[in-house]
Amino acid sequence: MRPAFAAVLLLTSFLAGCDQDMANQPRYDPLEESSQFSDGMSARTPVAGTVARDADPSPVPQAIPVPVTIDLLQRGRERFDIFCAPCHGRSGDGSGVIVRHGFPAPPSYHRDALRQAPDRHLYDVITNGYGAMYAYAARVPPADRWAIVAYIRALQYSRNAPVAALPPELRTRLQAEGSQ
């Protein structure tokens, strides 16, 4: 009789452990009402000063924070061709492939307003999006965003370089071509 009693006791202890109260705990859906708190809401407001886990709390500079080198411009061109050129075009004039498919044209980087905009503005637009453009913060790391800004500045300069800044042989060639 003792082995049968031990088996019944063991079976009873296993069945007691199968209670579904732990699996079926009460929970709230987002923004569901609750009587637990005085404001009647189940969702709690984050504590003042709370920072998102993936947020970068370092300050963002107003200008390109690294020296503009050939390597930086090449990286910027590579990233620009991947992320920006489909809409803005490879020359930055707003005639990317999406425009040929019926989407509205984005602004040209060669407009006065964008040539005179601070570097930080271009960086912020890449980061947060603007108008129909969506944010690239999750797709483009900060260093690559600055590389893209440097490349955009190079594109802008390529169409608006002062003639006086050109080497003498290029100025002579430009004047010869202009008189033809």
What is the pLDDT, as a whole number, of residue 129?
A: 95
Q: How far, CA to CA in Å, does 177 sit from each of 94, 96, 164, 171, 173?
A: 27, 29, 16, 10, 6
Using one digit for the tens of pLDDT, what is the confidence trace for 136-165? Answer: 999 999 999 999 999 999 999 998 888 888
Separation of alpha carbons 77 and 83, rounded Å? 10
- Indicate the residue type of 105: A
Confidence band for 16, pLDDT divided at 50, 70 and 90: low
* Cβ atoms 111, 105 nearer than 8 A: no
β-partners of residue 130 are 133
21 has pLDDT over 70: no
**Strand ranges inside 106-174, DSSP E:** none
Q: At 15, list the tokens.
A: 């069945």
pLDDT at position 91? 95
pLDDT value for 24: 74
Using a pLDDT cut of 90, give the percent of the chain over it.
52
Residue 62 to residue 31: CA distance in whole angstroms: 38
CA distances from 8 to 4, 15, 16, 18, 20 (A): 6, 11, 12, 16, 21
Q: What is the pLDDT of residues 63-95, one digit of tens each?
A: 999 999 999 999 999 999 999 999 999 999 999
Q: List the domain boundaries for the chain.
A: 70-160
Q: What is the DSSP letter of 131?
A: T
Q: Which CATH class is domain 70-160?
A: mainly alpha
* Residue 42 CB partners (closer than 8 Å, separation 6+): 28, 29, 31, 32, 33, 34, 36
| Cβ pair 150, 72 in contact under 8 A | yes
Contact 60/123 with Cβ under 8 angstroms? Answer: yes
Is residue 127 a contact partner of residue 145, using CB atoms and an 8 Å limit? Answer: yes
Pick from 50-54, 129-133, 166-170 the range whose average pLDDT is largest: 129-133
